[in-house]
Copies of this chain bind each other. A is one copy, B any other.
Amino acid sequence: MKVAIIGTGLIGGSLALALKRAGFATTVLGMDKNSEHLKKALDLKIIDSSATISEVCKSADLIILTIPVDAICKILPEVLSSISEQTTVVDMGSTKAKICESVKNHPKRANFVASHPIAGTEYTGPEAAIVDLFQDKKTIICQQEKSSKIALNLVKNMYELLEMKIELMDPATHDLQIAYVSHLSHISAFSLGLTVLAEEKKDKNIFKMAGGGFSSTVRLAKSSANMWAPIFDQNAQNISQALGEYIKHLELFKKAIDQGDQSKTRELMEKAGVIRTKM
In A116-152, which residues have CB < 8 Å from any B CB? 118-121, 137-138, 140
**Would you list which residues of chain A between 221 and 279 have a CB under 8 Å from chain B?**
221-223, 225-226, 228-230, 232-233, 236, 239-240, 242-247, 249-254, 256-258, 260, 262, 265-266, 268-276, 278-279
> Do A209 and B254 have beta carbons less than 8 Å apart?
no
Q: Is A178 an interface residue (CB 8 A)?
A: yes
Q: Check if B225 sits within 8 Å of A270, measured CB to CB.
A: yes
CB of A23 closer than 8 Å to a CB of B: no
A251, chain B: closest CB distance, angstroms: 7
A52 at the interface (CB under 8 A from B): no
Query: Could you say how many copies of this chain the assembly holds?
Result: 2
Closest to A258 in B: B240
Cβ B138 vs Cβ A211 within 8 A: yes
Q: Does A187 belong to the interface (CB within 8 Å)?
A: yes
Task: For the complex, give the distance between the alpha carbons of A223 and B197 in Å.
Answer: 25
Residue positions of A touching B, CB distance < 8 A: 118-121, 137-138, 140, 167, 173-174, 176-178, 180-182, 184-200, 203, 205-223, 225-226, 228-230, 232-233, 236, 239-240, 242-247, 249-254, 256-258, 260, 262, 265-266, 268-276, 278-279
8 residue pairs, one from A and one from B, having the closest CB atoms: A225-B269, A193-B272, A118-B211, A191-B249, A185-B217, A193-B275, A190-B272, A181-B210
Ordered by A's residue number, 16 sampled pairs between the chains whose C-beta atoms are within 8 Å are: A120-B213, A174-B209, A180-B195, A180-B206, A181-B211, A184-B192, A184-B195, A185-B216, A188-B188, A188-B217, A189-B272, A191-B249, A197-B275, A218-B275, A232-B262, A243-B250
